[in-house]
Amino acid sequence: MYRIRHYIRPEQIREFSLIFIIMLAVLFFGTQIDGYYSARTFNRIAASVAIITVLAAGQTLVILTRNIDLSIGSIVGFASYFAGQQLSANQDMHPLIAVGIAIGFGALLGSVNGLLVVYGRVPSIIVTLGTLAIYRGVLVDYAQAKTITTDMMPTWLVDLPRVNLFTVGEIEIRVMVGVAVLVVIAFQLCLTYLLLGRRLYAIGSNPDAARVAGLPARRIVLLAYILCGALAGLGGFMFLVRFGTITVSAGVGLELSAVAAAVVGGVNIFGGAGTMFGALFGAVVIGTLEQSLLRMPNVSEFVRDALLGLFILLAVASDAVILQQLRSLWARWAREARETPAAHSEKESGHAS
């Protein structure tokens, strides 16, 4: 039986334990909310999860390097507003160019974060807490309290949220979900197979050793911030697509959802460990909880936030317990495997030593 420990590590099973948590949550909300099990609920949750997933993917890249990016909520808001403004001014713009504008704008803001962290030698939590406020402030000033509304958008954009990729039974898998899954797969491949991925893990798990090994640590951290900004820009575009209406407070609080998703998904907040699939599962947990609590009858906004926090803590805590159990199980199996051959010769002294 304990041969499987050679092929699967506890950390890999842990990602599946999240699926279990998601199922529990869904069963619970099913009893509380009328008509919860419907394609409509799924689409609502999926649209929210898709955006959180993309943001969590970016956040994961930064967290892997033992840093954090708290500014992405503002980057989402600014990028979506900026892209929306360009689209309303130029209705014939090619969709890919519009996406490119949002991504490029996000990357620009991300590079500011990265440069400050890397060359300013200010702790990333301080830098991005600052830029969180700065980007939002500049957006408010730039927008001059104007709101981007759906009727200013080209029709392709307004129709985009309902574009179907394929249908499973009654459930439609829409283009936003496809984008999120694509991002996760692409970046997971990068983490596994590219130089960048290996270096991100190396820097996060032991920055000193990475420096002595001659890795260009600064450039890699900067790149992580640029990619995180770019993904926040993409998230901003998805935000624009999903809501159509963009105010200056668009995307407020999304940074916390993204960080929570990454951490719930098993990305080590101290860097060096975590996967994109983990972040995806984390985003599903967070998105499901957020959207379902929104539908709960008789739950005020404030109670909702408190419940969300409670659920996140529960998810992380139960996850930690499960992981610990699995690890000790694996260690026991390894011990038993070691002792089995010796048991024949030293039956009595085997345990004493």
Partner 1 sequence: MQPILKLENISKAFPGVKALDHVEFELFPGEVHALLGENGAGKSTLIKIMTGIYQPDSGQILLDGHPIKIGNSAQAQGYGIAAIYQEPLVFPDLNVAENIFIGHRVKGAFVDWRKMYREADDILARLGVSLDARSQARGLTLAQQQTVEIAKALSLNARVLIMDEPTASLSAHEVEQLFNLTRVLRERGVAILFISHRMDEIFEIADRVTVFRDGQQISSKPIAEITRDGVIQDMVGRKLESFFARNEHEQGELMLSVRNLGKRGIFSDINFDIHRGEVLGFAGLVGAGRTDVGLALFGVEPADSGEIILKGSQQQIRSPEQAQALGIAYVTEDRRQLGLTLPMSIAANISLPSLRKYLSAVGIIRRKAEQATAENYRQRLSIRTPSIWQEAGKLSGGNQQKVVLSKWLNTEPQLLILDEPTRGIDVGAKAEVHHIIDQLAGQGMGIMLISSDLPEVLAMSDRILVMREGQQMGIFNREEATQEVVINAAMGQSRSDVKV
The two most distant CA atoms of the chain are separated, in Å, by 84
The 3-state DSSP class for residue 132 equals: helix
Binding of partner 1 at residue 199 (CB under 8 A)? yes
- Residues 132-151 binding partner 1 (CB under 8 A) are none
Q: Pick from 1, 96, 168, 212: which binds partner 1 (CB under 8 A)? A: 212
- Residues 273-302 binding partner 1 (CB under 8 A) are 273
Tokens for 145, please give them. Answer: 């309290």
DSSP 305-350: HHHHHHHHHHHHHHHHHHHHHHHHHHHHHHHHHHHHHHHTT-TTHH
The CB-of-195 to partner 1 minimum distance in angstroms stands at 6
Binding of partner 1 at residue 66 (CB under 8 A)? no
Asked if residue 60 lies in contact with residue 279, where contact means CB atoms within 8 angstroms, the answer is yes
Binding of partner 1 at residue 210 (CB under 8 A)? yes
Phi and psi for 267 in degrees, rounded to 5? -75, 125
Compose the 167-196 pattern: x for residues touching partner 1 by CB under 8 A, - for all others. Answer: --------------------------xxx-
Q: Pick from 133, 182, 213, 306: which binds partner 1 (CB under 8 A)? A: 213
Nearer to partner 1, 191 or 286 (CB): 191
Compose the 237-276 pattern: x for residues touching partner 1 by CB under 8 A, - for all others. Answer: -----------------------------------xx---
Give the Cβ contact number of residue 83 at 10 Å.
30
Name the one residue in this structure whose structure tokens are 């599903």.
284
Nearer to partner 1, 229 or 272 (CB): 272
Q: Pick from 123, 216, 253, 350: which binds partner 1 (CB under 8 A)? A: 216
Binding of partner 1 at residue 331 (CB under 8 A)? no
Burial of 114 (C-beta count, 10 Å sphere; 0-12/13-18/19+) = buried
Query: How far does Cα 259 stand from its chain's mean position?
Result: 7
* Helix or strand (DSSP H, E) at 247: none
Binding of partner 1 at residue 211 (CB under 8 A)? yes
CA-to-CA distance for 85 and 210, rounded, in angstroms? 43
The CB-of-173 to partner 1 minimum distance in angstroms stands at 29
Binding site for partner 1 (CB under 8 A): 193-195, 198-199, 201-202, 205-206, 208-216, 272-273
